[in-house]
Amino acid sequence: MRNTTHKLFYDKKLRHLHDDCNICGAVKNHFVALCMRYFRRYGKGLSYKKMSAHLTKLKKLPKYRHWNIPYSWSLQNVLKRLSQSFKEMKTLGRGHPQFKSCKKHKGMTYNGTQAPIKMVLDKQKNERNHPTYKIRLNGRWYLFALHRPIEGDIKRVQVHRDALGDFYITLTEDYSEIKYEPKTGKAEGFDFGIKDFLTGSDGHREASPMFYKQNSDKLKSAQQAHSGKVKGSNNRERERKNVARIHKKTANQRADHHWKLAIKLCRKFDIMFFEDLNLRGMKALFGKQVSDLAFGEFMRKLKHQSHKRIRAVLKINRWTPTSKSCCVCGHENQNLSLSDREWTCPSCNTHLDRDHNAALNILKEGVASYRLGVVRPIVLFNRVVGYSVEATSPLLNSTNASV
Ligand SMILES: [Zn+2]
């Protein structure tokens, strides 16, 4: 499966998509209320089958006649997702599906298999970088620029909108994209940190540009301008869009940085080891810096790229003491505090850098737990330079991969 996202060209017709999205939100709110009532009484959510039968009944009433306007499959998809989230839930705690303003409902889904999606090449009036296609959604044609050629059958089309009122479509194709990269025979452990985003076991460091922090001054003035305007006025709406635009820019910058870094690492290394982090706990400790780095988002992108380029991203056990134990002799230093960037091992007298030591430990633990080979430390002048991995596994192609 491959997903590609394209932006729909601005058109007055987009208001129909906005209306459809609003109705999807209203349907969701209606059924959230219904499910919650049912859950309190019977301890479980309504099944999809019951909800969809109920929806069909409601649609016939004059009060809900406008619910017939959106494509029926997208309303059913809302119910499918809702029943799934109630199924996975145990109690009505903080995690139950919430009521949300209809205007904030993000999007809807069109199925391509039941009713094939119509998509044709538009007349190319002007020279463009990408061919302009038009797609038929709920009885109307919408234009967009196709920036990736379509390779397989389109299984599904998802339409979503952002806070600026722009519409995007995501085409899901029945096609798995593979890009072959030459094997490098290298394995690497990575330590994630606040100061340096990633520290590799070869001593390489990747800093993060901290985009939220960069844009925070602009965001602050935009938010102040927003809060000063009269509620419900056109001025306030304009300022709301300004705030949304800054948030969108930050997210785009971060995503771009993450994709580039992920591709770079996949080209360099065959196997990458990471620590399984407790991100919620870290957020409580370090605050919004962790959210700015968006480590979980980065891992998701790295996994996608490693799958595409046939690389392995492996996680080691969360409870392995990586920063507190010495990577040469395994001595555990219990007195190590968060502010100690460098320390000397009392048992073997090795001078260690905190992040580098952790990265080396992650590599060692990873190679041992996945049985990939033998690891030996390279020590020069009483300082660990690196680790040599003698591979016994077919995952690492070459016989001796020094890291
Ligand atoms: Zn030691």
Per-residue pLDDT of the chain (403 residues; tens, 9 = 90+): 889 999 999 989 999 999 999 999 999 999 999 999 998 898 888 899 999 999 999 999 999 999 999 988 899 999 999 999 888 887 777 778 889 999 999 989 988 777 778 888 888 777 778 889 999 988 899 999 999 888 888 889 999 999 999 999 999 998 888 888 888 878 888 998 888 889 988 888 888 889 999 999 999 999 999 999 999 999 999 999 999 999 999 999 999 999 999 999 999 888 899 988 888 888 888 888 888 888 889 999 999 999 999 888 988 887 878 888 888 777 887 877 777 788 888 887 878 888 888 888 888 888 888 777 666 655 555 555 566 666 655 555 543 444 4
pLDDT at 386: 60
What's the 377 CA to ligand 1 centre distance in angstroms?
Answer: 12
Residue 377 DSSP one-character state: E
pLDDT at 225: 95
What's the 389 CA to ligand 1 centre distance in angstroms?
Answer: 20
What's the 348 CA to ligand 1 centre distance in angstroms?
Answer: 4
Give 16's Cβ-side CA count (13 Å radius): 13
pLDDT at 388: 63
pLDDT at 381: 52
What's the 306 CA to ligand 1 centre distance in angstroms?
Answer: 34
Phi, then psi, of 224 in degrees rounded to 5: -65, -40
Q: Are 9 and 143 in contact (CB under 8 A)?
A: yes
Phi, then psi, of 254 in degrees rounded to 5: -65, -45
Q: Are 350 and 301 in contact (CB under 8 A)?
A: no
Give Cα 221 distance to the centre of its chain.
Answer: 28
What's the 401 CA to ligand 1 centre distance in angstroms?
Answer: 24
What's the 347 CA to ligand 1 centre distance in angstroms?
Answer: 5
Q: Ligand 1 (ion): which residues have CB within 5 A?
A: 326, 328-329, 331, 345, 347-348
- Start-to-end C-alpha separation, the chain: 34
What's the 361 CA to ligand 1 centre distance in angstroms?
Answer: 12
Which residue shows structure tokens 């490098």? Answer: 184
What's the 383 CA to ligand 1 centre distance in angstroms?
Answer: 10
What's the 70 CA to ligand 1 centre distance in angstroms?
Answer: 66
What's the 331 CA to ligand 1 centre distance in angstroms?
Answer: 5
Cα–Cα distance for residue pair 301/101, rounded to 1 Å: 30
Which residue shows structure tokens 């538009």? Answer: 122
Buried/exposed 142-176: b ≥16 CB within 10 Å, e otherwise: bebebeeeeeeebebbbbbbbeeeebebebbbeee
Phi, then psi, of 52 in degrees rounded to 5: -70, -35
Which helix (DSSP H) or strand (DSSP E) does residue 140 occupy? Answer: strand 140-145
What's the 346 CA to ligand 1 centre distance in angstroms?
Answer: 7
What's the 202 CA to ligand 1 centre distance in angstroms?
Answer: 18
Q: Are 384 and 352 in contact (CB under 8 A)?
A: yes
What's the 345 CA to ligand 1 centre distance in angstroms?
Answer: 5
Token duo for residue 257: 């940085």
What's the 184 CA to ligand 1 centre distance in angstroms?
Answer: 30
Cα–Cα distance for residue pair 198/192, rounded to 1 Å: 5
Cα–Cα distance for residue pair 330/351, rounded to 1 Å: 14
pLDDT at 8: 94
